[in-house]
Structure 1
Amino acid sequence: MANGRLKARGPRQGGQAIRRALAVLRTLAVGGERGVPLAEVVQATSLARPTVHRIVHVLIEEGIVERSERTGNYIVGRQVPELALARPSRSPLLIAAEPHLAAASAQLGDTLFLTVRTGLDTLCVARRIGSYPIQVLSIEVGVRRPLGVSSAGVAILAAMPSAEARKIVLANETRFGAYRTDTATVLGQIQLARRRGYNLRDVGLVQGTKSLSAWIRTPDGQPAAAITLSAIRNRLSPRRAIEVADVLVAAARAIEAATARD
């Protein structure tokens, strides 16, 4: 320590191997139950194929990754949810959001999702099904996607400084092809969401749907999550989209206020 200040530390020795293994594991998490073929892992991580092959097989030996006998794809292993049980409680954000998700879903009648940022990805952590006869269940709780792919991901990026959002989009560039989008499209969506104050996706991940998302910040101002409504297209006319946006933005601000009090 010099002049009472801690010296900045460089990357920890041996950290690169751990980060590469985590990048592989996160990519497999995006595949969910269907898994991910090795070629897609290579593309998504930008690692050399022999490196990915070696990491995957070490993770298999440790029970963290498994290979599907039916498809040959690689999937997250059974040990991962077992390890997750060691986490003692739900996050303060999820606890604070639950009553507001319930209230907004009851008011609007459509399915709502709570999605959080985790590294370069989004993770769906809660879903509240509405009362309208036709519901859009576009994503399951636990599904992970690259930031910028979903309505929630664009909303979270829109709440960031432009340089930071652009850096994340470029880092995810190789992953966008699997979701039929590209860097220019995502950057354009982010700019439009900033102007609106929320994100409206005219073409949802499920054909014939729309979605609308409002970002949620942590008490220190960092964009950390988004609340999203997904509905069939005729449920989100231009007039109703404004009404839905008002409800979601109000819910997002209420969630922020609740987490600030904790």
Structure 2
Amino acid sequence: MTGDGRQEPRQGAQAIRRALSVLRILAAGREEGVRLSEVVQSTALTRPTVHRIVHVLIEEGIVERNDKSGRYAIGRQVPELALARQSRTPLLVAAEPHLLKVSQQLGDTLFLTVRTGLDTLCVARRIGAYPIQVLSIEVGARRPLGVSSAGVAILAAVPAPDARKIVAANQVRFEAYRTTMPIVLEQIQAARRRGYGLRDIGLVQGTKSLSAWIRGPDGQPAAAITLSTIRNRLNPRRESEVAEALIGAAHAVEGAISLAK
């Protein structure tokens, strides 16, 4: 503790946090990987700092470099480490039957997305029976909070000052998704008014997405359930039907999580 009662930063904490921020950016690149310049831009760290962190992680087998593309990606040791904990989360267990039920009811693809730090992570996907399906996000896809309807929905359920801090922290990363901090803040306000997140132009051109947030046992928004479809399948009349179904499923998941405690 310092003389005025403030807790001193733990030795080495800054270096660890920087390494984790680099890893999260690399994780968003999935198999394709990310260029070093993109990591620098997204983390706001200097190029020498990013270069040093990445090469230490390469030495430890946590990051790999593709010699042909020059891109960096999460190393094979990471999924091997994850095998130490294979159990599914209570959220995923609680959500699975409701994802299946609503997907069958509405006919379109549903996604379950969780919040992890400043990002969203897709953890489940259920494909509907309608002949045209929107498979815009794969399980494991990671994106900054605010660039998808799921991220907007989650931020809409966060207290406004906290949501603004998260958006400000992610604003450099928004450039890659062709959006800005003012646009994201406006979308969050609209989601609060509606009671759900709506993205008129999905991550894939010609699509539309609607998301309902899910709160954890602590009352904080932990995830979102999303329906993505082609634009003409989500007109204003059907939007109400979809919103009602997703919000109902979100509440059912919240109840199941509470009972599982």
TM-score between the two structures when normalised by the length of structure 1: 0.96
Shift in Å, 1:11: 2.6
Structure 1 Cα separation of the partners of residues 8 and 220 of structure 2: 24
Q: State the match for 1:47 in structure 2.
A: 45
1:6-25 mapped onto 2 (5 Å cutoff)? 9-25=7-23
The correspondence for 1:73, drawn from 68, 71, 74, is 71
Structure 2 Cα separation of the partners of residues 258 and 10 of structure 1: 40
Moved more, 10-19 or 152-161: 10-19
Q: State the match for 2:192 in structure 1.
A: 194
Q: State the match for 1:150 in structure 2.
A: 148
Structure 2 Cα separation of the partners of residues 9 and 244 of structure 1: 48
Q: Does 1:115 align with 2:120?
A: no
Structure 1 Cα separation of the partners of residues 68 and 148 of structure 2: 29
Structure 2 Cα separation of the partners of residues 34 and 149 of structure 1: 20
1:238-249 mapped onto 2 (5 Å cutoff)? 238-249=236-247
Shift in Å, 1:13: 1.4
Q: How many residues align?
A: 257
Q: Does 1:136 align with 2:134?
A: yes
Q: SS of 1:32's equivalent?
A: coil
Q: State the match for 1:236 in structure 2.
A: 234
Shift in Å, 1:219: 1.3
Shift in Å, 1:261: 0.7
Shift in Å, 1:8: 6.9
Q: State the match for 1:160 in structure 2.
A: 158
Instruction: Provide the alpha-carbon RMSD of the alignment.
Output: 1.2
Q: SS of 1:34's equivalent?
A: coil
Q: SS of 2:30's equivalent?
A: helix
**Structure 2: runs of 5 or more not aligned:** none
Residues 94-119 of structure 1: CA distance to partner in whole angstroms, max 9, x if unpaired?
A: 00000000000000000000000000
Q: State the match for 1:215 in structure 2.
A: 213
Structure 2 Cα separation of the partners of residues 11 and 130 of structure 1: 49
Q: Does 1:225 align with 2:226?
A: no
* Letter matched to residue 168 of structure 2: L
Q: SS of 2:138's equivalent?
A: coil
Q: Does 1:256 align with 2:237?
A: no
* Letter matched to residue 40 of structure 2: V
Shift in Å, 1:154: 0.4
Q: State the match for 1:102 in structure 2.
A: 100
Change in Cα spacing, 1:106 to 1:8, as seen in structure 2 (3 Å) is farther
Q: State the match for 2:83 in structure 1.
A: 85
Structure 1 Cα separation of the partners of residues 168 and 253 of structure 2: 30
* Letter matched to residue 209 of structure 1: T
Structure 2 Cα separation of the partners of residues 238 and 64 of structure 1: 47
**Structure 1: runs of 5 or more not aligned:** 1-6
Q: State the match for 1:206 in structure 2.
A: 204
Q: SS of 2:240's equivalent?
A: helix
Q: SS of 2:57's equivalent?
A: helix
* Letter matched to residue 114 of structure 2: V
Moved more, 80-89 or 96-105: 80-89
* Letter matched to residue 102 of structure 2: A
Q: SS of 2:176's equivalent?
A: helix
Structure 1 Cα separation of the partners of residues 18 and 114 of structure 2: 22
Shift in Å, 1:68: 1.1
TM-score between the two structures when normalised by the length of structure 2: 0.97
Q: Structure 1 runs of 4+ off > 2 angstroms? A: 7-11
Q: SS of 2:53's equivalent?
A: helix
Q: State the match for 2:123 in structure 1.
A: 125
Shift in Å, 1:27: 0.3
